[in-house]
Structure 1
Amino acid sequence: MFKEDKREDEDEDEEGGGYLKRANPDQLHEIFNKYASVERNGERFMNADDFIRRYLKLFEGNNFDANSVRLLAGIVDTNKDSLISYAEFQAFEGLLCFPDALYKTAFQLFDTNGNGVVSFAEFVEVMRKTVLHERIPFNMESPFIQLYFGRNKQRAISYSEFSQFLHDFHEEYAIEGFRKADRNGTGFISVLDFQDIMINIKSHLLTKQVQSHLIETASGSQIGNKVSFPYFIAFNSLLNNMELAKRIYLNVTNGHRNQEVSKDEFMHSAQVMSQMTPLEVDILFQLCDVLHQSGLLLTENGFDGRIVYNDLNAIAPEQYFKQITNRLAEIKAVSSPEDRGVVIQVLESAYRFALGSIAGAVGATAVYPIDLVKTRMQNQRTGSFVGELMYRNSIDCFKKVIRHEGVFGLYRGLVPQLLGVAPEKAIKLTANDFIRDKFYDKNGNIPVYGEIFAGGFAGGCQVIFTNPLEIVKIRLQVAGEIAGGSRMRAWPVVKDLGLFGLYKGARACLMRDVTFSAIYFPLYAHTKASMADENGYNSPLTLLLSGAIAGVPAASLVTPADVIKTRLQVVARQGQTTYTGIADAARKIYREEGPRAFWKGATARVFRSSPQFGVTLFTYELLQRYLYIDFGGTRPTGSEQKVPAGLEGEQKSRSPDHIGGYSVALPIFSGIETKFGLCLPKFSIPSSSTSSSSSSSSDKK
């Protein structure tokens, strides 16, 4: 019965009734065959291990609970024949595409015989296998159970009724735990019993900070180390409604997250918006006070009875629906950028261009003295110019510039550099992002060749700005080596060169920049991903380090092209060799100065390019993080502001085979635990369970 209803739901989804785009059937079938290990009558099937452990990658390792694996696989196995057909695999993918996927998944977990309803016997069968029931058994004869299943427990519950039952069941479970701890019927339990009930029954509502300070919080609010029933209910209600508490806070502050809010201000807003009780508000502020005193929450002036938004984040655990929302945002951003209008895409590129201009200017200013030293070292000839070398090495060059030209000599040519570096870096960053967007598939993955092409394309685009900028900059940078050079200005250089002269050495510049960017951007993306935390978040420090690390091989490997470009763009002085092109320059440099000449200034180049691009990408991504405008496209991975410590890490799929509805399968499965607290054993101590599971699987094959 439920299976037919589900098929109708899928038809609705194909017409736009769902909330998540369905997977392509051909691609889904290919993935199914990849993991299906059982073949019968010419048809392939998945067994429990194939689906849960190999495909979803749950219960990995050899020491796992076989009963839990079979029970979870039964959610998909609607025929209950211990095998999952492609039709069942596809049907469950459709189920995951709907907003109530969590409740539907939980319903199919308890509907062990697949008849579309849950009986009392089925509920007990599954419930007794949970970790929760093992710790604190629930009274299956309670009036609450009878209200849903009838006095004789003969009434079966439909999906819609079961969803309400499951919503209310955990609250009743907590009350049941309180009754058992209140042995004398006084309406009070000890703080130790309170801690035990919360950890065993309500652990899915507790962050690590709150869990470690339950006794301290309750002791500070209650008298005589006793917890009253009203306090117990209010405490649980608060944890259930932390999202409401956040909305109340934002209502007080008009959306600002750093404004301090007093208890009276919060209380007033709570009464206007909802019926959050005064006791719940008292507990909220008591929790914040305890966490501040323990050092888990920090403010500039300590806790003075006022809270900020991050205080609420430290109390509220990461719920499954946040994981789903985040995952859907990722999918929306990368699934079909071409569906956005041309105007939106142009505005997004303009936005990125503006941020890239700022980032480029910051990066260039930070490392300009190193760039000047690099240029002078590369221009120093050893074969054709008679006389003593002006600079022994980069450090010697740095010292002599300061000695003879002053500190400001290190910034000779900076102004035209800043005027040109803004469009140069902006077009490079924008072009890379734009082309990368075109290579993303609907699951947010990009092939390596796409990353390389996007980087190379971006490097090529920037040359139109880079070459004029570089030739003027280089001639100003070497002017200090010549008597009277301090009087040289940018505009006379531009007039002297003319339009075509500004693009002298452009081919060498193109060779350098295309290669550099094709190496740099893919390496940066992968380095950043490897340095991200378990939630995929990059701190500012890891962004800076990722950009700097990626710049080392990219900058060093293109040094020969940079040396040739420099020689072509600098005006040769009397006695110095002149060059007519890339090949001519390469031959003459090799003949007159040897192969080592191609690596002149490599150290200075690495020390300039590596930190420059580190600072530039660091600035670019932080600007996108804090000045984010949603155009419906992509944003740098991990660029969302950091989730405060204490929230559970998001369990999301990193497998390219988790497509369509399966892209949110892991948050849905973890949601059964985090929303309802129905945790199944993940490990089994006796080896017999594993052995029996393996043998049964082999029998099916």
Structure 2
Amino acid sequence: MFPLDLPRVFPRVHCDADETASATSTTAKAVTISALNSVKNVMSVPETELKRWRRVFDSHATAVADGQKYLTKDQFVNAIAPAGDLSKIRRAQFAILFRVADTSKRGVVSWEDFVVFETLLKRSDADYWIAFQYFDVDDSGTITYDEFKNVFKENVGPDAIPFDFECDWVKLYLGTKNGQHVLGYNEFTQLMKGLQGERLRQAFKYIDKDQDGFIRPDEFKRIILEIAGHKLSEAVAERLPSLTTVNHPSGRISYSEVVAFHNIVRDSDILERVIREAIAKSKDGRIDQSDFLNYCETSTRYSLFTPMEASIIFHFAGRGNSSQRLSLYDFGQLLDPRWRAPLDVSENPATTTKSVLHQIAHSAYNFVLGGIAGALGATIVYPIDLVKTRMQNQRSTVVGQLLYKNSFDCVKKVLRNEGFVGFYRGLGPQLIGVAPEKAIKLTVNDFVRSRAMDPETGRIKLMWELIAGGTAGGCQVIFTNPLEIVKIRLQMQGEAAKLEGAAPKGAVHIIRQLGLVGLYKGASACLLRDIPFSSIYFPAYAHLKKDVFQEGYNGKQLSFLETLASAAIAGMPAAYFTTPADVVKTRLQVETRTGQTHYKGMGDAFAKIYQEEGFKAFFKGGPARVIRSSPQFGFTLVAYEYLHKFFPYPYNGNGDAKDVETALTTSSPEDLSKIRARNALKILLDVHGEFGRRTA
């Protein structure tokens, strides 16, 4: 196998004693130290990471020589280019990095070369270091004036706006080594950071022939596309000439406007953070120009954007109307280079039919996942539900009926008298019914919310949140009432067997006994419980996620525990405040035994319970209900959301998603090396948008 060719990847630096006093020599020493540190990194790569690199290398390398595998240029690009990259960098341009990785200039990359290159990407300054190596043609550890000039020219092409290499700006960055102008690594990084600004100044001066400080819209577009075209979406690029309408109806664009637009593009990451935070704090999910500037003033030490820059931002985001309130989706075309306008499908009958079928299919998908999630949540908390039911049915006015002192006493006696299986008495019908019950509740809530939600901001008014939850709660009663009356009678049979020696009856016997009408006994109380419960629960859940745990804030996704906490906490007030209706429902649905009060209906039940047992009776089993409902809905909602993540709906629609995904919201730590490789290309593309295409 070939030895590690470290001298090429980490440039040779010659430091003569006579040069130790010069700034360039100091830089060279720093580069040498940095190179030595990188060599250490090669030796300290974790075994797991080395194995991962080996898998990547072996899966792409096919060229064989001397019994060893090698990566060709195309294979190297496939191995290191990020999948689904959010920039407008073409995959072919990643071949620029091949020149850095191909240490021996053989036209292929060996396993040893690949290890050193991947180790190089682990450096915190890998992006600038790779760019430095690309310009350091002779591997000297410094970049001469001629090297910088020649690499620049061979990549930008003859049709590019010319750049004056003899300008004072370039000379300010160049030191002297052996009488030759050179750039050390640190000086090079600063030069590259400021190069776009100097190119912008020179390009404007070159095009502004009469030196009056104005250029035509088409000339402005040419400058921006050459310098920052890879950072713009096609929608913004096409409308670049419209900048003339912001401040100069005469049809010309000033140097100040050109600089302002360039500043916006250069600081797009900062701009995105400000916009996301300002929108997150707004009431309607939209901001106007005043909101934007006010937030800049209050959230930063210094004003980040000038009024001219704010006007330009809102001009392009608002498609020419800078006075309107804009959502994050509107700003997406300015923040995301790969932004595409949604297709207009309103006039296509075939597409409309397809959209209706998609909505039906999507509701069915939610229904199935809701049923699975509901069954899981019900199973976990079913023993608590059994205790809650028995406590609610306990009548203090009947002698000998006080079987349980409290919920804990009930648990002990059920375990002693009926065994562990007793805690799951009636679970079968519960699982059969809970699937459609929870599925209806979750599906209807999602459906109503989606129709009432602003498609661009993702916001929904509180009134519609309450309506969505209440509608969901009302619709589920068609399954809830028969399910619960059977479940309650099954749960009470263990108690009846203890008191009266009665033989337990199965669910089928209870259904036959009740009949179709009897299965809906207590339905009014069930509605009185479920509609307020869902009206409280779903809005509380949504606002806990958004306002307390900051879901979506700067792209944040909630953890498992945060989601569970949101769902569980939301269930507490919803469960407790609807306990009176649940008590009445239980009394109406349970089979009345000898000596117990008989209730004619919901109103009669409320009156008699109050007269015989007092106001406190309406909250019997309240704590048990909270203990049961809170974790049940917690696990149900967590399961529902995670099922959506693990089994995503396969159809993405017709571009109607309003999420704005950028590098700020999609980058992950495990992709850091590929992010740095992409950023290295961005630094080079700042020289010219065509960089690398002529030499790749």
Instruction: Please tell me the residue identity of whatever aligns with 1:441.
Output: D
Counterpart position of 1:590: 610
CA 1:464/1:290 → structure 2, altered by over 3 Å: closer, same or farther? Answer: same
Q: 1:181 to 1:450 in 2, by over 3 A?
A: farther
Q: How does 1:261-410 map to 2 (within 5 A)?
A: 269-270=75-76, 275=95, 276-277=97-98, 278=101, 281-286=114-119, 324=335, 341-383=355-397, 385-410=398-423
- The CA distance in 2 between the partners of 1:588 and 1:417, in whole Å, is 29
Counterpart for residue 239 of structure 1: none
1:401 deviation in Å? Answer: 0.4
Matched, 1:569 2:589: yes
SS of equivalent to 2:28: strand
Aligned pair partner of 1:623 in 625, 643, 656: 643
Q: Which position in structure 2 is the counterpart of 1:553?
A: 573
SS of equivalent to 2:586: helix
Give me the whole-angstrom Cα distance separating, in 1, the residues matched to 2:684 and 2:503: 69
In 2, Cα distance between the equivalents of 1:561 and 1:357?
25
Q: Normalization by structure 2: what TM-score?
A: 0.50
> Corresponding residue for 2:48?
none
Deviates more, 1:281-290 or 1:510-519: 281-290
Q: Residue type of the partner of 1:406?
A: G
Q: Which amino acid aligns with 2:118?
A: F
| Matched letter for residue 376 of structure 1 | R
**Rg larger for:** 2
Residues 185 and 289 (structure 1 numbering): CA distance in 2 closer, same or farther, change over 3 Å?
closer
Is residue 522 from structure 1 mapped to residue 536 from structure 2 by the alignment? no
Tell me, yes or no, if the aligned pair for 1:374 and 1:605 is still in contact at 8 Å.
yes
Alpha-carbon distance in structure 2 between the residues aligned to 1:461 and 1:570: 23
Write the letter of the residue equivalent to 2:511. Answer: V
The equivalent residue for 2:427 is 414
1:644 to 652, 668, 671: 668
Q: Given the superposition, is the C-alpha separation of residues 360 and 188 from structure 1 closer, same or farther in structure 2, using an over 3 Å criterion?
A: same
State the Cα deviation string for residues 497-543 of structure 1 (Å, max 9, x = none).
11111111011101100100000000000101121364231111111
Compute the displacement of 1:445 (Å). Answer: 1.3
Matches within 5 A, 1:102-181: none
Once the two structures are TM-superposed, the CA of residue 644 in structure 1 deviates from its matched residue by 3.1
CA positional deviation for 1:194: 9.0
Residue 631 of structure 2 is matched in structure 1 by 611
Matched to 1:414, the amino acid is L
CA contact (8 A) 2:395 2:401 kept: no
Residues 1:498 and 2:491 are matched in the alignment = no
* Separation in structure 1 between the aligned mates of residue 394 and residue 337 of structure 2, nearest angstrom: 55
Partner Cα distance (2:643, 2:661) in 1? 10
How much does 1:281 deviate?
4.0
Pair 1:597–1:341, CA change in 2 (3 A): same
CA distance in 2, matches of 1:621, 1:328: 27
Residue 495 of structure 1 aligns with an amino acid whose one-letter code is R
Note closer, same or farther for the CA distance 1:386–1:338 as it changes in structure 2 (3 Å cut): farther
**Alpha-carbon distance in structure 1 between the residues aligned to 2:388 and 2:658:** 31
**1:627 CA drift (Å):** 1.2
Q: CA deviation at 1:324?
A: 4.6
1:388 to 1:582, Cα distance in 2 relative to 1, 3 A: closer
RMSD over equivalenced CA pairs, Å: 4.8
1:543 matches 2:563: yes
1:467 aligns with 2:491: no
SS in 2 for 1:615: helix
Q: Distance in 2 between matches of 1:401 and 1:527?
A: 36
Q: Which amino acid aligns with 1:373?
A: V
Number of residue pairs matched by the alignment: 401
* Contact 2:386 2:423 survives alignment (8 Å): yes
Please give the alpha-carbon distance, in whole angstroms, between the structure 1 residues aligned to 2:363 and 2:480: 20
Q: Secondary structure at the match of 1:575?
A: coil
Aligned residue identity for 2:637? L
Indicate how the Cα distance of structure 1 residues 501 and 341 shifts in structure 2: closer, same or farther if over 3 A, else same. same
1:252 is displaced (CA, Å) by: 5.1
* Of 510, 518, 521, the match for 2:527: 510
Distance of 2:411 and 2:510 partners within structure 1: 24
Q: Distance in 1 between matches of 2:27 and 2:417?
A: 84
Residue 146 (structure 2) aligns with:
none
TM-score, scaled relative to structure 1:
0.50
Task: Determine the structure 2 residue equivalent to 1:81.
Answer: none
In 2, distance between residues paired with 1:525 and 1:500? Answer: 37
* CA deviation vs aligned residue, 1:635-665 (integer Å, no higher than 9, x gap): 99999998535899xxxxxxxxxxxxxxxxx
Distance apart, 1:187 and its partner CA: 13
> What amino acid maps onto 1:364 in structure 2?
A
2:605 and 2:340 map into 1 onto residues whose CA distance is 52
**Contact 1:361 1:422 (C-alpha < 8 Å) held by counterparts:** yes
- 1:30-109 aligned at under 5 Å gives the runs none
Which whole-Å deviations, capped at 9, do the CAs of 1:26-73 have from their partners, x for residues lacking one?
xxxxxxxxxxxxxxxxxxxxxxxxxxxxxxxxxxxxxxxxxxxxxxxx
Indicate conservation of the 8 Å contact 1:532/1:638, yes or no.
no
Q: Report sequence identity in percent.
A: 46
Matched-pair contact (CA < 8 Å) for 1:537–1:642 = no
Distance 1:251 1:577, change over 3 A: farther
Match of 2:184 in 1: none
**Counterpart contact for 2:481–2:519, Cα < 8 Å:** yes
Q: Check 1:324–1:440 CA distance in 2 against 1; reply closer, same or farther (3 A cut).
A: farther
The 3 A distance-change label for structure 1 pair 185 and 624 is same
Segments of structure 1 that go 5 or more residues without pairing to the other structure are 1-174, 196-213, 223-244, 254-262, 292-316, 649-671, 678-701
Question: Is this contact kept in 2: 1:267–1:281, CA < 8 A?
Answer: no
Corresponding residue for 1:439?
452
Contact 2:455 2:658 in 1 (8 A): no
Alignment of 1:183-332 (within 5 A): 189-191=28-30, 216-217=37-38, 220=41, 269-270=75-76, 275=95, 276-277=97-98, 278=101, 281-286=114-119, 324=335
